[in-house]
Chains A and B, each alone.
Chain A
Amino acid sequence: MENNIKHTILETKNLSIGYKSKKTETIVASNINLELKEGQLIGLIGANGIGKSTLLRTLTQVQPKLSGALYLNNKPLESYKNLELAQAMSLVLTEQITSKNLSVFELIALGRQPYTNWVGSLSETDITVINKAITQTNITDLKHKKCFELSDGQLQKVMITRALAQDTDLIILDEPTTHLDMYHKAYILKLLQKLTKETGKTILFSSHEIDLAIQLCDSMIVMSKDGIVNDSPCNLIEQGAFNNLFPKNMIIFDEKIGSFRVIK
Protein backbone atom coordinates (compact mmCIF):
# COMPACT_ATOMS: atom_id res chain seq x y z
CA MET A 1 0.00 0.00 0.00
CA GLU A 2 2.77 2.36 0.99
CA ASN A 3 4.39 2.03 -2.43
CA ASN A 4 1.33 3.37 -4.17
CA ILE A 5 1.61 6.74 -2.47
CA LYS A 6 5.27 7.13 -3.44
CA HIS A 7 5.76 8.68 -6.78
CA THR A 8 7.37 6.82 -9.65
CA ILE A 9 10.82 7.97 -10.73
CA LEU A 10 11.60 5.61 -13.58
CA GLU A 11 9.11 3.58 -15.56
CA THR A 12 9.43 1.35 -18.59
CA LYS A 13 6.59 -0.04 -20.69
CA ASN A 14 7.19 -2.98 -23.04
CA LEU A 15 10.78 -1.83 -23.40
CA SER A 16 13.02 -3.70 -25.83
CA ILE A 17 16.76 -3.32 -25.55
CA GLY A 18 19.61 -4.41 -27.77
CA TYR A 19 21.80 -3.30 -30.61
CA LYS A 20 20.77 -1.96 -33.96
CA SER A 21 23.03 -1.81 -36.97
CA LYS A 22 21.99 -0.90 -40.51
CA LYS A 23 20.92 -4.40 -41.43
CA THR A 24 20.19 -6.35 -38.28
CA GLU A 25 18.61 -5.81 -34.93
CA THR A 26 19.96 -7.86 -32.04
CA ILE A 27 17.39 -7.99 -29.27
CA VAL A 28 19.03 -8.58 -25.89
CA ALA A 29 15.81 -8.44 -23.88
CA SER A 30 12.25 -7.42 -24.55
CA ASN A 31 8.95 -6.82 -22.82
CA ILE A 32 10.61 -5.08 -19.88
CA ASN A 33 8.16 -3.46 -17.49
CA LEU A 34 9.79 -1.72 -14.55
CA GLU A 35 8.57 0.76 -12.00
CA LEU A 36 11.17 2.35 -9.73
CA LYS A 37 9.68 4.30 -6.85
CA GLU A 38 10.98 7.29 -4.96
CA GLY A 39 13.35 6.46 -2.09
CA GLN A 40 13.83 2.83 -3.05
CA LEU A 41 17.02 0.81 -3.26
CA ILE A 42 16.78 -1.42 -6.30
CA GLY A 43 19.22 -4.20 -7.17
CA LEU A 44 19.62 -5.43 -10.74
CA ILE A 45 20.91 -8.97 -10.89
CA GLY A 46 21.46 -11.63 -13.50
CA ALA A 47 24.15 -13.89 -14.87
CA ASN A 48 27.05 -12.57 -16.94
CA GLY A 49 26.04 -11.74 -20.50
CA ILE A 50 22.31 -11.67 -19.80
CA GLY A 51 22.11 -7.94 -20.63
CA LYS A 52 22.42 -6.04 -17.36
CA SER A 53 24.86 -3.56 -18.87
CA THR A 54 22.73 -3.14 -21.98
CA LEU A 55 19.72 -2.38 -19.76
CA LEU A 56 21.68 0.16 -17.71
CA ARG A 57 23.12 1.73 -20.86
CA THR A 58 19.60 2.08 -22.26
CA LEU A 59 18.19 3.52 -19.02
CA THR A 60 21.00 6.09 -18.90
CA GLN A 61 20.59 6.97 -22.58
CA VAL A 62 24.08 5.89 -23.54
CA GLN A 63 22.49 3.72 -26.21
CA PRO A 64 19.02 4.04 -27.79
CA LYS A 65 16.16 1.69 -26.93
CA LEU A 66 14.79 -0.56 -29.67
CA SER A 67 11.10 -0.11 -28.88
CA GLY A 68 8.68 0.55 -26.04
CA ALA A 69 8.49 3.52 -23.70
CA LEU A 70 10.86 4.87 -21.07
CA TYR A 71 9.83 7.59 -18.61
CA LEU A 72 11.94 9.52 -16.14
CA ASN A 73 9.78 11.56 -13.76
CA ASN A 74 6.78 10.89 -16.04
CA LYS A 75 8.58 12.48 -18.98
CA PRO A 76 9.90 10.47 -21.96
CA LEU A 77 13.64 9.94 -21.46
CA GLU A 78 14.52 10.82 -25.04
CA SER A 79 13.00 14.29 -24.65
CA TYR A 80 15.59 15.21 -21.99
CA LYS A 81 18.38 17.57 -23.00
CA ASN A 82 21.96 16.78 -21.88
CA LEU A 83 21.97 19.23 -19.02
CA GLU A 84 18.43 18.45 -17.94
CA LEU A 85 19.25 14.75 -17.76
CA ALA A 86 22.39 15.52 -15.75
CA GLN A 87 20.15 17.24 -13.19
CA ALA A 88 17.81 14.26 -12.99
CA MET A 89 20.13 11.25 -13.11
CA SER A 90 23.69 10.69 -11.91
CA LEU A 91 25.98 7.75 -12.57
CA VAL A 92 28.71 5.74 -10.93
CA LEU A 93 30.46 3.75 -13.64
CA THR A 94 32.90 0.85 -13.56
CA GLU A 95 35.52 2.76 -15.54
CA GLN A 96 38.43 4.48 -13.84
CA ILE A 97 38.54 8.26 -13.80
CA THR A 98 41.17 9.76 -16.10
CA SER A 99 42.97 12.04 -13.68
CA LYS A 100 43.75 10.70 -10.24
CA ASN A 101 45.63 13.86 -9.41
CA LEU A 102 42.31 15.46 -8.42
CA SER A 103 41.73 15.92 -4.72
CA VAL A 104 38.66 14.22 -3.26
CA PHE A 105 36.97 17.58 -2.78
CA GLU A 106 37.70 18.64 -6.37
CA LEU A 107 36.36 15.35 -7.68
CA ILE A 108 33.13 15.65 -5.70
CA ALA A 109 32.85 19.31 -6.73
CA LEU A 110 32.81 18.20 -10.37
CA GLY A 111 29.43 16.67 -9.54
CA ARG A 112 28.10 20.24 -9.39
CA GLN A 113 29.03 20.93 -13.03
CA PRO A 114 25.40 20.83 -14.27
CA TYR A 115 24.62 23.75 -11.96
CA THR A 116 27.75 25.92 -12.15
CA ASN A 117 28.54 28.86 -14.45
CA TRP A 118 30.69 28.78 -17.60
CA VAL A 119 34.02 28.42 -15.78
CA GLY A 120 32.56 26.08 -13.17
CA SER A 121 32.86 28.37 -10.12
CA LEU A 122 31.26 26.95 -6.99
CA SER A 123 28.55 29.03 -5.33
CA GLU A 124 27.80 28.86 -1.62
CA THR A 125 24.89 26.54 -2.32
CA ASP A 126 27.22 24.24 -4.27
CA ILE A 127 29.67 24.07 -1.38
CA THR A 128 26.85 23.39 1.10
CA VAL A 129 25.56 20.53 -1.06
CA ILE A 130 29.08 19.09 -1.44
CA ASN A 131 29.78 19.21 2.29
CA LYS A 132 26.41 17.66 3.07
CA ALA A 133 27.16 14.80 0.66
CA ILE A 134 30.58 14.33 2.27
CA THR A 135 28.97 14.08 5.72
CA GLN A 136 26.30 11.67 4.50
CA THR A 137 28.85 9.21 3.16
CA ASN A 138 31.18 9.70 6.13
CA ILE A 139 34.32 10.61 4.20
CA THR A 140 35.23 13.90 5.88
CA ASP A 141 38.70 12.54 6.71
CA LEU A 142 39.39 11.89 3.01
CA LYS A 143 38.34 15.36 1.86
CA HIS A 144 41.83 16.73 1.20
CA LYS A 145 43.48 13.56 -0.03
CA LYS A 146 44.42 13.00 -3.66
CA CYS A 147 42.52 10.28 -5.50
CA PHE A 148 45.65 8.22 -6.19
CA GLU A 149 46.15 7.85 -2.44
CA LEU A 150 42.81 6.10 -1.95
CA SER A 151 42.00 2.40 -1.75
CA ASP A 152 39.38 0.91 -4.09
CA GLY A 153 36.79 0.98 -1.33
CA GLN A 154 37.50 4.60 -0.43
CA LEU A 155 37.44 5.64 -4.08
CA GLN A 156 34.04 3.97 -4.53
CA LYS A 157 32.69 5.94 -1.55
CA VAL A 158 34.06 9.13 -3.11
CA MET A 159 32.42 8.33 -6.46
CA ILE A 160 29.10 7.75 -4.67
CA THR A 161 29.52 11.08 -2.90
CA ARG A 162 30.14 12.76 -6.25
CA ALA A 163 26.90 11.29 -7.61
CA LEU A 164 25.12 12.46 -4.45
CA ALA A 165 26.48 15.99 -4.91
CA GLN A 166 24.99 16.01 -8.40
CA ASP A 167 21.69 16.13 -6.48
CA THR A 168 19.50 14.02 -8.74
CA ASP A 169 16.35 12.04 -8.00
CA LEU A 170 17.90 8.90 -9.43
CA ILE A 171 21.41 7.50 -8.98
CA ILE A 172 22.47 4.55 -11.10
CA LEU A 173 25.54 2.48 -10.22
CA ASP A 174 27.11 -0.11 -12.47
CA GLU A 175 28.51 -2.95 -10.35
CA PRO A 176 29.64 -0.76 -7.43
CA THR A 177 30.93 -3.74 -5.45
CA THR A 178 33.45 -5.22 -7.89
CA HIS A 179 37.06 -5.36 -6.68
CA LEU A 180 35.95 -4.93 -3.08
CA ASP A 181 36.36 -7.35 -0.18
CA MET A 182 33.37 -8.86 1.61
CA TYR A 183 33.28 -6.17 4.28
CA HIS A 184 33.41 -3.32 1.81
CA LYS A 185 30.81 -4.95 -0.43
CA ALA A 186 28.40 -5.03 2.48
CA TYR A 187 29.51 -1.55 3.59
CA ILE A 188 28.86 0.04 0.19
CA LEU A 189 25.43 -1.59 -0.22
CA LYS A 190 24.44 -0.68 3.33
CA LEU A 191 25.57 2.86 2.64
CA LEU A 192 23.35 2.95 -0.45
CA GLN A 193 20.43 1.68 1.64
CA LYS A 194 21.06 4.36 4.26
CA LEU A 195 21.20 7.05 1.57
CA THR A 196 17.83 6.06 0.10
CA LYS A 197 16.28 6.33 3.56
CA GLU A 198 17.97 9.62 4.46
CA THR A 199 17.73 11.49 1.18
CA GLY A 200 14.66 9.98 -0.46
CA LYS A 201 16.65 9.42 -3.62
CA THR A 202 16.11 6.34 -5.77
CA ILE A 203 19.22 4.22 -6.19
CA LEU A 204 19.51 1.51 -8.83
CA PHE A 205 22.60 -0.69 -8.90
CA SER A 206 23.65 -3.77 -10.77
CA SER A 207 25.52 -6.40 -8.81
CA HIS A 208 26.53 -10.02 -8.51
CA GLU A 209 26.08 -9.90 -4.74
CA ILE A 210 22.66 -11.55 -4.84
CA ASP A 211 22.68 -12.63 -1.18
CA LEU A 212 23.40 -9.10 0.00
CA ALA A 213 20.92 -7.58 -2.44
CA ILE A 214 18.14 -9.88 -1.18
CA GLN A 215 18.79 -8.68 2.37
CA LEU A 216 19.11 -4.96 1.66
CA CYS A 217 17.01 -4.03 -1.39
CA ASP A 218 13.46 -2.71 -1.37
CA SER A 219 12.96 -4.09 -4.82
CA MET A 220 14.92 -6.21 -7.25
CA ILE A 221 15.12 -6.64 -10.99
CA VAL A 222 16.01 -10.22 -11.89
CA MET A 223 17.17 -10.87 -15.43
CA SER A 224 17.16 -14.47 -16.59
CA LYS A 225 16.56 -16.38 -19.80
CA ASP A 226 12.88 -16.65 -18.87
CA GLY A 227 12.46 -12.90 -18.82
CA ILE A 228 12.72 -9.94 -16.51
CA VAL A 229 10.84 -9.64 -13.24
CA ASN A 230 10.68 -6.68 -10.90
CA ASP A 231 9.33 -7.16 -7.38
CA SER A 232 10.29 -7.10 -3.71
CA PRO A 233 12.91 -9.74 -2.70
CA CYS A 234 10.35 -11.71 -0.61
CA ASN A 235 7.86 -11.96 -3.45
CA LEU A 236 10.64 -12.90 -5.85
CA ILE A 237 11.72 -15.78 -3.60
CA GLU A 238 8.12 -16.97 -3.35
CA GLN A 239 7.77 -16.83 -7.11
CA GLY A 240 10.99 -18.82 -7.47
CA ALA A 241 12.58 -16.13 -9.59
CA PHE A 242 16.06 -17.02 -8.37
CA ASN A 243 15.77 -20.73 -9.11
CA ASN A 244 16.56 -20.50 -12.78
CA LEU A 245 19.25 -17.85 -12.56
CA PHE A 246 22.13 -20.30 -12.94
CA PRO A 247 22.39 -23.86 -14.34
CA LYS A 248 20.76 -26.14 -11.75
CA ASN A 249 23.38 -28.85 -11.96
CA MET A 250 25.92 -26.41 -10.49
CA ILE A 251 24.25 -23.91 -8.24
CA ILE A 252 20.83 -24.06 -6.61
CA PHE A 253 18.92 -21.46 -4.63
CA ASP A 254 17.96 -22.46 -1.12
CA GLU A 255 14.64 -20.73 -0.43
CA LYS A 256 14.78 -21.45 3.31
CA ILE A 257 17.96 -19.47 3.91
CA GLY A 258 17.55 -17.15 0.92
CA SER A 259 20.95 -17.95 -0.44
CA PHE A 260 22.76 -19.90 -3.15
CA ARG A 261 24.51 -23.23 -2.68
CA VAL A 262 27.07 -25.00 -4.88
CA ILE A 263 26.24 -28.66 -5.57
CA LYS A 264 29.21 -30.73 -4.49
Chain B
Amino acid sequence: MKNKYTYTFSILIVILLFCFFANISLGSISIPFKSIFSSFSANSDNYTSQEYIIQNYRLPKAITAILVGSGLGISGLLMQTLFRNPLAGPFVLGITSGASLGVALLIMGSSVFGGFFATLLISKWSLVIAASLGSFLVLLTVLIVSSRVRDTMAILIIGLMFGSITAAVVSVLSYFSSAEELQQYIFWGFGSLGDLQWEEVKIFAIIYTIGIVFSIGSIKALNTLLLGENYAKSLGLNLKQSRIAIIIATSLLAGTITAFAGPIAFIGLAIPHMIRQIFNTSNHKILIPAVFLFGAIVMLVCDSIAQLPNTDYTLPINAITSLIGAPVVVWLLVRKRKMVF
Protein backbone atom coordinates (compact mmCIF):
# COMPACT_ATOMS: atom_id res chain seq x y z
CA MET B 1 0.00 0.00 0.00
CA LYS B 2 2.76 2.44 0.94
CA ASN B 3 5.15 1.29 -1.78
CA LYS B 4 2.63 2.47 -4.35
CA TYR B 5 3.47 6.07 -3.46
CA THR B 6 7.20 5.80 -2.69
CA TYR B 7 8.06 6.31 -6.36
CA THR B 8 5.97 9.48 -6.75
CA PHE B 9 7.23 10.85 -3.46
CA SER B 10 10.88 10.30 -4.43
CA ILE B 11 10.30 12.16 -7.71
CA LEU B 12 8.66 15.05 -5.85
CA ILE B 13 11.55 15.28 -3.40
CA VAL B 14 14.10 15.35 -6.25
CA ILE B 15 12.09 18.06 -8.07
CA LEU B 16 11.84 20.05 -4.84
CA LEU B 17 15.61 19.95 -4.32
CA PHE B 18 16.22 20.94 -7.92
CA CYS B 19 13.74 23.83 -7.71
CA PHE B 20 15.27 24.96 -4.43
CA PHE B 21 18.74 25.29 -5.93
CA ALA B 22 17.43 26.66 -9.24
CA ASN B 23 15.53 29.30 -7.29
CA ILE B 24 18.69 30.32 -5.45
CA SER B 25 20.69 30.29 -8.65
CA LEU B 26 18.29 32.44 -10.69
CA GLY B 27 17.81 36.16 -10.20
CA SER B 28 19.11 39.49 -11.38
CA ILE B 29 22.48 37.78 -11.58
CA SER B 30 22.81 34.06 -12.22
CA ILE B 31 24.88 32.14 -9.74
CA PRO B 32 26.14 28.71 -10.83
CA PHE B 33 25.08 25.70 -8.69
CA LYS B 34 28.70 25.07 -7.74
CA SER B 35 29.03 28.45 -6.03
CA ILE B 36 25.81 27.83 -4.14
CA PHE B 37 27.21 24.75 -2.43
CA SER B 38 30.50 26.44 -1.62
CA SER B 39 28.73 29.48 -0.23
CA PHE B 40 26.99 27.39 2.42
CA SER B 41 30.32 26.67 4.03
CA ALA B 42 31.69 30.18 3.52
CA ASN B 43 32.92 32.18 6.46
CA SER B 44 30.68 35.15 7.21
CA ASP B 45 33.67 37.43 7.89
CA ASN B 46 34.93 37.47 4.33
CA TYR B 47 31.95 36.90 2.07
CA THR B 48 32.28 37.38 -1.65
CA SER B 49 29.40 39.35 -3.13
CA GLN B 50 27.85 36.14 -4.49
CA GLU B 51 28.06 34.50 -1.11
CA TYR B 52 26.54 37.56 0.49
CA ILE B 53 23.59 37.51 -1.92
CA ILE B 54 22.99 33.83 -1.29
CA GLN B 55 23.35 33.93 2.48
CA ASN B 56 21.36 37.07 3.17
CA TYR B 57 18.92 37.31 0.34
CA ARG B 58 18.30 34.24 -1.77
CA LEU B 59 18.48 31.52 0.87
CA PRO B 60 15.92 33.15 3.23
CA LYS B 61 13.74 33.87 0.20
CA ALA B 62 13.85 30.25 -0.99
CA ILE B 63 13.04 28.99 2.49
CA THR B 64 10.16 31.48 2.74
CA ALA B 65 8.86 30.22 -0.62
CA ILE B 66 8.85 26.64 0.70
CA LEU B 67 7.06 27.63 3.91
CA VAL B 68 4.49 29.74 2.04
CA GLY B 69 3.72 27.21 -0.69
CA SER B 70 3.48 24.19 1.58
CA GLY B 71 1.61 26.06 4.31
CA LEU B 72 -1.02 27.52 2.01
CA GLY B 73 -1.49 24.18 0.27
CA ILE B 74 -2.03 22.36 3.56
CA SER B 75 -4.38 24.99 4.98
CA GLY B 76 -6.41 24.82 1.75
CA LEU B 77 -6.57 21.04 2.07
CA LEU B 78 -7.77 21.28 5.68
CA MET B 79 -10.49 23.77 4.74
CA GLN B 80 -11.69 21.68 1.82
CA THR B 81 -12.11 18.61 3.99
CA LEU B 82 -13.58 20.44 7.00
CA PHE B 83 -16.16 22.33 4.95
CA ARG B 84 -16.76 19.36 2.64
CA ASN B 85 -16.37 21.74 -0.26
CA PRO B 86 -13.88 21.41 -3.11
CA LEU B 87 -13.90 25.17 -3.65
CA ALA B 88 -12.94 26.06 -0.11
CA GLY B 89 -9.57 27.52 0.72
CA PRO B 90 -8.08 30.23 2.89
CA PHE B 91 -8.76 32.80 0.16
CA VAL B 92 -12.38 31.85 -0.59
CA LEU B 93 -13.39 31.64 3.06
CA GLY B 94 -12.21 35.15 3.81
CA ILE B 95 -9.24 34.28 6.00
CA THR B 96 -6.96 36.29 3.74
CA SER B 97 -9.52 39.10 3.73
CA GLY B 98 -9.45 39.07 7.52
CA ALA B 99 -5.67 39.31 7.50
CA SER B 100 -5.85 42.15 4.95
CA LEU B 101 -8.31 43.99 7.15
CA GLY B 102 -6.01 43.63 10.15
CA VAL B 103 -3.07 44.96 8.19
CA ALA B 104 -5.12 47.77 6.61
CA LEU B 105 -6.32 48.87 10.04
CA LEU B 106 -2.75 48.87 11.29
CA ILE B 107 -1.16 50.69 8.37
CA MET B 108 -3.95 53.11 7.55
CA GLY B 109 -5.95 53.15 10.76
CA SER B 110 -3.78 55.80 12.39
CA SER B 111 -5.03 58.47 9.95
CA VAL B 112 -8.63 57.62 10.69
CA PHE B 113 -8.63 56.77 14.37
CA GLY B 114 -5.43 58.42 15.49
CA GLY B 115 -4.64 57.97 19.18
CA PHE B 116 -4.10 54.31 19.99
CA PHE B 117 -3.21 53.23 16.46
CA ALA B 118 -0.71 56.03 16.02
CA THR B 119 1.23 54.79 19.01
CA LEU B 120 1.68 51.34 17.48
CA LEU B 121 4.95 50.86 15.70
CA ILE B 122 4.43 49.44 12.24
CA SER B 123 7.08 46.81 12.44
CA LYS B 124 7.02 43.37 10.85
CA TRP B 125 5.84 42.06 14.20
CA SER B 126 2.80 44.27 14.55
CA LEU B 127 1.91 43.39 10.94
CA VAL B 128 2.12 39.72 11.82
CA ILE B 129 -0.05 40.12 14.89
CA ALA B 130 -2.63 42.25 13.07
CA ALA B 131 -2.85 39.79 10.18
CA SER B 132 -3.09 36.74 12.46
CA LEU B 133 -5.76 38.34 14.64
CA GLY B 134 -7.74 39.38 11.57
CA SER B 135 -7.64 35.94 9.98
CA PHE B 136 -8.44 34.15 13.23
CA LEU B 137 -11.49 36.34 13.91
CA VAL B 138 -12.87 35.84 10.41
CA LEU B 139 -12.36 32.10 10.53
CA LEU B 140 -14.03 31.90 13.93
CA THR B 141 -17.02 33.83 12.62
CA VAL B 142 -17.27 31.59 9.57
CA LEU B 143 -17.16 28.57 11.85
CA ILE B 144 -19.87 29.85 14.19
CA VAL B 145 -22.07 30.64 11.22
CA SER B 146 -21.33 27.28 9.62
CA SER B 147 -22.46 25.45 12.75
CA ARG B 148 -25.88 27.12 12.33
CA VAL B 149 -26.34 26.71 8.59
CA ARG B 150 -25.97 23.20 7.25
CA ASP B 151 -25.60 24.31 3.65
CA THR B 152 -21.96 24.53 2.68
CA MET B 153 -22.77 26.86 -0.20
CA ALA B 154 -24.02 29.39 2.36
CA ILE B 155 -20.66 29.22 4.10
CA LEU B 156 -18.84 30.04 0.89
CA ILE B 157 -21.13 32.99 0.24
CA ILE B 158 -20.53 34.18 3.79
CA GLY B 159 -16.79 33.97 3.15
CA LEU B 160 -17.22 36.04 -0.01
CA MET B 161 -19.30 38.55 1.95
CA PHE B 162 -16.42 38.96 4.38
CA GLY B 163 -14.23 39.67 1.38
CA SER B 164 -16.65 42.42 0.29
CA ILE B 165 -16.86 43.90 3.77
CA THR B 166 -13.07 43.96 3.98
CA ALA B 167 -12.77 45.62 0.59
CA ALA B 168 -15.32 48.22 1.65
CA VAL B 169 -13.58 48.97 4.95
CA VAL B 170 -10.23 49.13 3.20
CA SER B 171 -11.54 51.61 0.63
CA VAL B 172 -12.99 53.81 3.38
CA LEU B 173 -9.64 53.67 5.17
CA SER B 174 -7.68 54.45 2.02
CA TYR B 175 -9.87 57.47 1.34
CA PHE B 176 -8.55 59.01 4.54
CA SER B 177 -4.98 57.74 4.31
CA SER B 178 -1.85 59.43 3.12
CA ALA B 179 -0.28 58.37 -0.18
CA GLU B 180 2.60 56.83 1.69
CA GLU B 181 0.39 54.61 3.83
CA LEU B 182 -1.63 53.61 0.81
CA GLN B 183 1.48 52.61 -1.04
CA GLN B 184 2.69 50.59 1.92
CA TYR B 185 -0.62 48.69 2.01
CA ILE B 186 -0.72 48.10 -1.75
CA PHE B 187 2.84 46.80 -1.73
CA TRP B 188 1.90 44.42 1.08
CA GLY B 189 -1.01 43.27 -1.09
CA PHE B 190 1.29 42.37 -4.00
CA GLY B 191 2.83 39.71 -1.85
CA SER B 192 6.53 39.33 -1.44
CA LEU B 193 8.80 36.49 -0.43
CA GLY B 194 12.03 38.45 -0.44
CA ASP B 195 11.55 40.94 2.35
CA LEU B 196 12.35 38.69 5.25
CA GLN B 197 15.49 38.79 7.35
CA TRP B 198 16.79 35.63 8.99
CA GLU B 199 15.31 36.78 12.28
CA GLU B 200 11.83 36.95 10.73
CA VAL B 201 12.23 33.68 8.87
CA LYS B 202 12.95 32.00 12.21
CA ILE B 203 9.76 33.29 13.85
CA PHE B 204 7.81 32.44 10.70
CA ALA B 205 9.20 28.91 10.76
CA ILE B 206 8.31 28.45 14.43
CA ILE B 207 4.65 29.48 14.02
CA TYR B 208 4.48 27.54 10.77
CA THR B 209 5.76 24.43 12.54
CA ILE B 210 3.07 24.75 15.23
CA GLY B 211 0.47 24.95 12.44
CA ILE B 212 1.93 21.88 10.76
CA VAL B 213 1.93 19.97 14.06
CA PHE B 214 -1.77 20.73 14.47
CA SER B 215 -2.38 19.61 10.87
CA ILE B 216 -0.56 16.32 11.35
CA GLY B 217 -2.42 15.81 14.62
CA SER B 218 -5.67 16.19 12.70
CA ILE B 219 -4.92 13.52 10.07
CA LYS B 220 -7.15 10.89 11.67
CA ALA B 221 -9.98 13.37 12.22
CA LEU B 222 -9.70 14.59 8.62
CA ASN B 223 -9.91 11.05 7.29
CA THR B 224 -12.92 10.32 9.49
CA LEU B 225 -14.58 13.50 8.24
CA LEU B 226 -14.46 12.08 4.70
CA LEU B 227 -17.53 10.06 5.70
CA GLY B 228 -19.46 13.16 6.78
CA GLU B 229 -19.95 14.62 10.23
CA ASN B 230 -22.62 12.22 11.47
CA TYR B 231 -20.58 9.15 10.59
CA ALA B 232 -17.50 10.79 12.11
CA LYS B 233 -19.42 11.27 15.33
CA SER B 234 -20.60 7.65 15.32
CA LEU B 235 -16.93 6.63 15.04
CA GLY B 236 -16.18 8.35 18.33
CA LEU B 237 -14.68 11.52 16.89
CA ASN B 238 -14.91 14.56 19.14
CA LEU B 239 -16.25 16.88 16.47
CA LYS B 240 -15.88 20.16 18.33
CA GLN B 241 -12.33 19.48 19.40
CA SER B 242 -11.25 18.34 15.94
CA ARG B 243 -12.88 21.33 14.28
CA ILE B 244 -11.05 23.71 16.61
CA ALA B 245 -7.72 21.95 16.02
CA ILE B 246 -8.20 22.17 12.24
CA ILE B 247 -9.15 25.83 12.49
CA ILE B 248 -6.17 26.66 14.69
CA ALA B 249 -3.89 24.93 12.19
CA THR B 250 -5.40 26.83 9.27
CA SER B 251 -5.39 30.23 10.92
CA LEU B 252 -1.81 29.80 12.15
CA LEU B 253 -0.63 28.80 8.69
CA ALA B 254 -2.73 31.11 6.52
CA GLY B 255 -2.54 33.95 9.03
CA THR B 256 1.25 34.03 9.42
CA ILE B 257 1.86 33.43 5.73
CA THR B 258 -0.38 36.35 4.83
CA ALA B 259 1.30 38.41 7.51
CA PHE B 260 4.86 37.72 6.38
CA ALA B 261 4.39 37.33 2.64
CA GLY B 262 1.14 39.12 1.89
CA PRO B 263 -2.09 37.66 0.54
CA ILE B 264 -0.90 34.99 -1.89
CA ALA B 265 -3.79 33.89 -4.07
CA PHE B 266 -4.88 30.52 -5.42
CA ILE B 267 -2.08 28.31 -4.07
CA GLY B 268 -4.31 27.17 -1.19
CA LEU B 269 -7.14 26.25 -3.53
CA ALA B 270 -5.28 24.76 -6.48
CA ILE B 271 -2.53 22.65 -4.90
CA PRO B 272 -4.75 20.15 -3.02
CA HIS B 273 -6.77 19.51 -6.18
CA MET B 274 -3.68 18.93 -8.28
CA ILE B 275 -2.39 16.49 -5.67
CA ARG B 276 -5.70 14.60 -5.54
CA GLN B 277 -5.47 14.23 -9.31
CA ILE B 278 -1.85 13.04 -9.21
CA PHE B 279 -2.16 10.64 -6.28
CA ASN B 280 -5.81 9.69 -6.79
CA THR B 281 -6.45 9.27 -3.09
CA SER B 282 -8.35 11.04 -0.33
CA ASN B 283 -6.20 9.66 2.48
CA HIS B 284 -4.72 12.62 4.35
CA LYS B 285 -1.74 10.57 5.48
CA ILE B 286 -0.66 10.69 1.83
CA LEU B 287 -2.21 14.04 0.90
CA ILE B 288 -0.56 16.18 3.59
CA PRO B 289 3.07 15.29 2.78
CA ALA B 290 2.29 15.38 -0.95
CA VAL B 291 0.67 18.82 -0.71
CA PHE B 292 3.66 19.96 1.36
CA LEU B 293 6.14 18.94 -1.35
CA PHE B 294 4.08 20.09 -4.30
CA GLY B 295 3.09 23.42 -2.73
CA ALA B 296 6.74 24.17 -2.03
CA ILE B 297 7.72 23.26 -5.61
CA VAL B 298 5.03 25.43 -7.20
CA MET B 299 5.91 28.39 -4.99
CA LEU B 300 9.62 28.10 -5.80
CA VAL B 301 8.80 27.98 -9.52
CA CYS B 302 6.43 30.96 -9.26
CA ASP B 303 9.07 32.92 -7.39
CA SER B 304 11.75 32.08 -9.95
CA ILE B 305 9.43 33.34 -12.72
CA ALA B 306 8.53 36.47 -10.73
CA GLN B 307 12.23 37.32 -10.42
CA LEU B 308 12.51 37.53 -14.23
CA PRO B 309 15.95 35.91 -14.35
CA ASN B 310 18.81 38.14 -15.50
CA THR B 311 16.76 41.33 -15.32
CA ASP B 312 16.39 43.90 -12.58
CA TYR B 313 12.61 43.58 -12.52
CA THR B 314 10.61 41.63 -9.96
CA LEU B 315 6.94 40.98 -10.69
CA PRO B 316 4.44 40.82 -7.81
CA ILE B 317 4.38 37.17 -6.74
CA ASN B 318 0.62 37.38 -6.41
CA ALA B 319 0.22 38.07 -10.10
CA ILE B 320 2.23 34.96 -10.97
CA THR B 321 0.36 32.60 -8.63
CA SER B 322 -2.97 33.86 -9.98
CA LEU B 323 -1.80 33.52 -13.57
CA ILE B 324 -1.02 29.88 -12.84
CA GLY B 325 -3.86 29.28 -10.36
CA ALA B 326 -6.81 30.69 -12.26
CA PRO B 327 -6.43 28.45 -15.35
CA VAL B 328 -6.09 25.48 -13.01
CA VAL B 329 -9.42 26.28 -11.35
CA VAL B 330 -11.05 26.65 -14.77
CA TRP B 331 -9.51 23.36 -15.85
CA LEU B 332 -10.84 21.68 -12.71
CA LEU B 333 -14.37 22.93 -13.34
CA VAL B 334 -14.29 21.85 -16.97
CA ARG B 335 -13.16 18.40 -15.90
CA LYS B 336 -15.70 18.32 -13.09
CA ARG B 337 -17.05 14.92 -14.02
CA LYS B 338 -13.75 13.46 -12.97
CA MET B 339 -13.21 15.82 -10.07
CA VAL B 340 -13.96 13.44 -7.27
CA PHE B 341 -13.47 15.03 -3.95
Contacts and interface: CB of A to CB of B under 8 A. Distances in A.
Interface in A81-119: 82-87, 89-91, 93, 95-102, 106-107, 110-111, 113-114, 116, 118-119
B237 A99 contact: no
A102 B282 contact: yes
Nearest to B280: A101
B226 interface: yes
B285 A119 contact: yes
B219 interface: yes
Contacts of A113: 220, 223-224, 235-237
Nearest to A87: B236
B226 to A, nearest CB: 4
Nearest to A83: B236
B237 A101 contact: no
A98 B226 contact: yes
Given A99-B282, A120-B223, A120-B285, A86 B228 contact: no
B226 A166 contact: no
Given A102-B282, A120-B285, A114 B226 contact: no
A97 B231 contact: yes
A100 B337 CA distance: 13
Interface in B212-229: 216-217, 219-220, 223-228
Contacts of B230: 62, 91, 93, 95
Contacts of B217: 118
B283 interface: yes
B243 interface: no
A194 interface: no
A146 B340 contact: yes
Contacts of B341: 98-101
Interface residues of B, number: 27
B240 to A, nearest CB: 10
B281 A119 contact: no
Q: Which of A96, A102, A116, A148 has the most CB of B within 10 A?
A: A102
Contact of B228 (A60, A84, A98): A98
Given A86-B236, A95-B230, A101 B220 contact: no
A111 B276 CA distance: 23
Given A85-B236, A146-B340, A97 B224 contact: no
Given A101-B281, A113-B220, A120-B219, A90 B234 contact: yes
A110 to B, nearest CB: 6
A98 B226 CA distance: 5
A101 B282 contact: yes
Given A83-B236, A101-B280, A110-B223, 15 more contacts: A95-B231, A97-B231, A98-B228, A101-B341, A102-B226, A102-B282, A110-B224, A113-B220, A113-B235, A116-B220, A120-B219, A120-B220, A120-B285, A146-B340, A148-B340
16 contacts: A82-B238, A86-B235, A90-B234, A93-B228, A95-B230, A96-B228, A98-B84, A99-B282, A101-B276, A101-B340, A106-B282, A110-B224, A113-B220, A119-B216, A120-B219, A146-B340
Interface of A: 60, 62, 82-87, 89-91, 93, 95-102, 106-107, 110-111, 113-114, 116, 118-120, 146, 148, 166
The list of the 10 closest CB pairs from A to B, nearest first, reads A86-B236, A83-B236, A101-B340, A99-B226, A120-B220, A91-B234, A113-B235, A114-B236, A101-B282, A99-B282
